[in-house]
Amino acid sequence: MVRGARPEGRALLFWHKIFNGDQFARAIVFLCATSVIAVTCLLVYELWIHSELSRAKFGWSFLHTSVWDPINDQYGAAPFIFGTIVTSLLSLLIAVPLGVGAAIFLAELAPPRTSDMLTFLIELLAAVPSVIFGLIGIFVLVPFLQDYVVPALKGTLGFLPIFSGPFFGVSIFSASIVLAIMVLPFIISVSREVLLAVPRDLREAALAVGATKWESTWQVVVPFARTGIIGSIFLALARALGETMAVTMVIGNTPKIQHSLLAPGYSIAAVIANEFSEASGDVYRSALIELGLVLFALTIVINGAARLLIMATTAKGTK
């Protein structure tokens, strides 16, 4: 029997209790497991009661009013919800083709060792902290967009209302690009796993009836893995919705809904990050916490959908 050093007397009794006390051990681990549920419930509870003031004062109109006036204590979440959703969707618009394309390359085309190494590097990109992306966003991306990309964009597509108006660098457009780079690794790694899980026979069958490599990939393998890929997109969306620091640094902090992507905007996470520590007044703070509640609800729904979709395709997931 495996034994360590034997302590004496009362310590020995305690030792026996720990190591032979299965009930005791079981109780401890059960408590820890339950504490996860307790923490989550407590989180929802705290968000709920601390947003009470704001919910009582504004009700459902909080979600579609556009005013944000701390001086007169009038708050409406519409600009932030707009900013959050627009930046996230635009970032997906950029990141999904890039990400799924890269995942296809890594799963189908690249030799296994190259694929593993490249995936390793891409997963490192996911590990880069958000402030670093914010730093690069402010000092590298924004000047780059201002000097090269936006003039070119305005020259070609400037007639569109979404590209109208002056460009100050910080904008919804810049925030979307930074977000796109941040969610790219998630789309790539999950999609790659999902594509690798597609059975070989399908590919070989397609090739056997005369399809080219691209045709077999695009028309057979990818549709088979479609659910999982959509799951990865939802996961990326959930990540993009909650992303705070990089967005705060490049979005422009303007609580207005504007039709141009080149205009500055605001997102839920950004306004909480910027204004929470200085929020004077209970209604102000309560409004910010209610915003947190809205964000929480949004990400829960999207995350739940993502998990279900990914579960349906790969063997892993919450079982």
Partner 1 sequence: MLAMTGVFTFFTVGTLIFVLSYLFFKGGHDLNWDFFTKLPVPIGEVGGGMANAIVGSGKVLLLATLIGVPIGFLAGVYLSEYGGVTYSFVIRFTTDLLNGVPSIVIGIFAYTLIVLKTHHFSALAGGVALGIMMIPIALRSTEEFLRSVPVSLREGAMALGASKARTIATVVVPAAMRGIISGMMLNLARVAGETAPLLFTALNNQYWSPGWNQPIATLPVQIFTYAIAPYPDWHRQAWAAGFVLLALVLLVNITARTVIASGFSHKPR
Q: Is 28 in the site for partner 1 (CB under 8 A)?
A: yes
Residue 89 token pair: 């969707």
**From 174, 232, 243, 284, residue interacting with partner 1 (rule: CB under 8 A):** 243
Q: Is 277 in the site for partner 1 (CB under 8 A)?
A: yes
**From 233, 292, 309, 313, residue interacting with partner 1 (rule: CB under 8 A):** 292
Instruction: Name the segment binding partner 1 (CB under 8 A); options: 25-33, 70-78, 143-151, 152-160.
Output: 25-33
Q: How many CB atoms lie within 10 A of CB 134?
A: 20
Residue 177 token pair: 């690009």
Residue 138 token pair: 């402010």
Site for partner 1 in 81-100 (CB under 8 A): 97-99
Residue 139 token pair: 């000092």
Q: CA 142, CA 22: separation in Å to the nearest integer?
A: 60
Question: Is the sign of the CA dihedral 306, 309, 310, 316 positive or negative?
Answer: positive
Contact 102, 188 (CB under 8 A): yes
Q: Is 276 in the site for partner 1 (CB under 8 A)?
A: yes
Instruction: Name the segment binding partner 1 (CB under 8 A); options: 40-48, 58-66, 71-79, 152-160.
Output: 40-48
Instruction: Name the segment binding partner 1 (CB under 8 A); options: 142-150, 156-164, 177-185, 225-233.
Output: 177-185
Q: How many CB atoms lie within 10 A of CB 87?
A: 31
Q: Tell me, rounded to whole angstroms, the distance of Cα 90 from its chain centroid.
A: 13
Q: Is 26 in the site for partner 1 (CB under 8 A)?
A: yes
Alpha-carbon dihedral 35, 33, 304, 105, rounded to 10 degrees? 130
**From 12, 19, 52, 223, residue interacting with partner 1 (rule: CB under 8 A):** 19
Site for partner 1 in 123-142 (CB under 8 A): 123-125, 127-136, 138-140
Instruction: Name the segment binding partner 1 (CB under 8 A); options: 7-15, 44-52, 54-62, 195-203.
Output: 44-52
Q: Is 104 in the site for partner 1 (CB under 8 A)?
A: yes
